[in-house]
Structure 1
């Protein structure tokens, strides 16, 4: 196939999204290697991402470019256009791309480490969407998010709380300090367990290296923040079953996760290869089926647009910290991370992705749950036992 066929097809598709090749707008694409066009057709999103990592194209405002791509629904237009489908098929058969030596070495640079997250995230190291209502910066947005969760869980001093997928212990630390609860955090990352244990020292917090399916105790409250997307669609039901099994009859659980508009059983190839292997964004139907006959849905809150703000704040922190981080990472890693954060922000901005918080209770609970109205939310810690903690 002639390279001009791929170039013309890509140019025409991008024009439908308001993006010009070598144009003057910040969201336009500057092509530096003509193999870019064939890579897009032969490898789809994987080729798009890998060609960016290799430096085959540039864009001054990746987030704005991706936002236009998502709004234009180009994937659906390719599926409905016979000529484009034929071009894609021929590219797969006759024009297999080889990967550069640089890309083959990405694995050795993808040992992210805690140092990167310390510089990219807020002081509590919360790696999930912040709650930006009335927040002035990332740190405040994350504190507000943690407080929102505490209030939805109606925490009281002396309660036991299980944090499934506790990360670096940000929520465990906040809940123990501000609400006097005893927290068990579980993670399957040794690095996270080590740092979370250090950060929660002196508090009633235990951080375990443990799979969620191995939990066998009962808790007053259960929280999971940014974990469900990583369990895979075959495990959604077992995840909900664990919550039911570990939650006391009159307990409350909150699950905070990214949600999709459509039911899928695979993730984006580039994201799967470089960012979240084996992950899957659940849909309403998948979550509903997983909860059926297990838990009662009390409240469903969507604030996905706040993930756009969160991701762009992470991107700014990452960019500012790059001179310090650069000795330990490659330029390909920088471009990979840049591609990931900007494309993800645009997906939320275009409402292709959502951020859902579900409040769940045990089916045998005798309590009436009163939902927290977002417009009445106050970011100040509220101890529901009416005691102020010292």
Structure 2
């Protein structure tokens, strides 16, 4: 069926029936149902898939009281695979092409992280940690993020005086926490000018060197290496380069912890087209086989921990902060940005709730620890 040429009534019937298969009623009464304001929505979704779904939301063509649950239902029923597979195949091909070469490493910094620290101060926890929290025994976002930082320190077996490299250090939150609590010396690298500037202020008074630097340019030897939420920007064709650089910088008895979103379903699948265009250009979520292939001959895998459902809670907390703090941001960002950011946070929450994406912490050593490795949970 050529969905791009369907009449309005046929397109509406087609889309309505697809959503109904997931328990979503168009113009229905439940919070997870959608309300369509512009009838062009139906053909646009059929022609453009997830890109059309997201753009039409940004433009106010439809609304949903509970976006995260809408996406949970949609993705749990795998309806994304039922609409316009040709678009999905094209996006997958585009992703492979984009990750063939050395992408501009500073593009993502300028596009996403440099849009203003004021946004992230409103949205994030007090330490400005822009990655999944660890919600075991946590009652707030601040507690979940502190739990996560402590979990990483435990997994790294940190000791005073150790030299630690943070690849993709953000605003310096992890290095500052590790310096405060373990007395480490740190180097943090980021491709975001805004993050680098703020991280230097944040880590002032500690033996921490913050650099505006691509990880491929980093030199030195480190007892411990962490990369927390940066690997998603590396790209499949650069995975081996990434792990070779980590191995080069890690001491023979060192430990490397990789914290990354993961795709457990399809190796080589491209990033969602809407996310690629509006949130994280040139990004790619790695699969298990991507990581496994790239670390062969370089590292021993000591531990692989998945706590993906915790990202659902983290994203909901970020949205709650964003929503409550919008009055502080609306002079700088317009209504379209508000809808874009809401769609980003809540669609991602639904994705993790549906278990379509994961959150992994992977502990690696170069030769395997002689007495074995005991993990923490």
Aligned to 2:91: none
Task: Determine whether 1:222 maps to 2:230.
Answer: no
Q: TM-score, normalised by structure 2?
A: 0.90
**1:310-334, CA deviations, whole angstroms, 9 ceiling, x for partnerless residues?**
0000000000000110010010000
Aligned match of 2:290? 286
Asked if the contact 1:296–1:361 (Cα under 8 Å) also holds between the matched residues in 2, the reply is: yes
Aligned with residue 274 of structure 2, among 223, 248, 270: 270
Q: Is residue 353 of structure 1 aligned with residue 357 of structure 2? A: yes
- Which 5+ residue runs of structure 2 have no aligned equivalent? 87-109
The yes-or-no answer on 1:301 pairing with 2:305 is yes
Partner residue, 1:254: 257
Match of 1:187 in 2: 190
Counterpart in 1 of 2:318?
314
1:42 equivalent in structure 2: 47
Could you tell me how far 1:150 is from its partner in structure 2? 0.3
Output the CA distance in 2 between the equivalents of 1:108 and 1:304. Answer: 26
CA distance in 2, matches of 1:271, 1:63: 15
In structure 1, what is the equivalent of residue 23 of structure 2?
Answer: 18
Report the CA distance shift for 1:344/1:108 in structure 2 as closer, same or farther (over 3 A).
closer
Could you tell me how far apart the structure 1 residues matched to 2:292 and 2:242 are?
13
Structure-2 separation of matches of 1:79 and 1:40: 9
Match of 1:169 among 172, 186, 192: 172
Distance 1:108 1:236, change over 3 A: closer
Q: Is 2:156–2:256's contact at 8 Å kept on the other side of the alignment?
A: yes
Indicate the residue corresponding to 1:159 in structure 2.
162
Question: How far is 1:216 from its partner?
Answer: 1.8
| Alpha-carbon displacement from aligned partner over 1:344-370 (angstroms, at most 9, x marks no partner) | 00111110010000000013x553342
Secondary structure of 1:345's counterpart equals helix
Q: How big is each residue's C-alpha offset from its partner over 1:42-80, in whole Å with a ceiling of 9 and x where there is no partner?
A: 111000000000000010000111110011111334479
State the SS of the aligned residue for 2:329: helix
Local SS of the residue matching 2:165: strand
The corresponding residue for 2:60 is 55
Residue 329 of structure 1 pairs with residue 333 of structure 2: yes
Cα distance, 1:186 vs structure 2: 0.4
Structure 2 contact 112–279 (Cα < 8 Å) conserved: no
String of CA shifts for 1:139-195, please: whole Å, max 9, x gaps: 000000000000000000011000000000000100011000000000111110000
1:108–1:294 CA distance, 2 compared to 1 (3 A): closer
Aligned length: 349
Query: Relative to 1, partners in 2 of residues 1:10 and 1:159: Cα closer, same or farther, differing over 3 Å?
Result: same
Q: Distance in 2 between matches of 1:67 and 1:346?
A: 4
Counterparts of 1:267 and 1:77, CA distance in 2: 17
1:74 and 2:79 correspond: yes
Question: TM-score, normalised to structure 1's length?
Answer: 0.87
| 1:116 is the counterpart of 2:119 | yes
Which residue pairs with 2:90 in the alignment? none
Deviation at 1:371, TM superposition (A): 2.1
Judged with a 3 Å threshold, the aligned counterparts in structure 2 of structure 1 residues 303 and 173 are, in CA distance, closer, same or farther, namely same
Q: In structure 2, what is the equivalent of residue 241 of structure 1?
A: 244
Q: Distance in 2 between matches of 1:122 and 1:333?
A: 21
Q: What is the aligned partner in structure 1 of residue 89 from structure 2? A: none
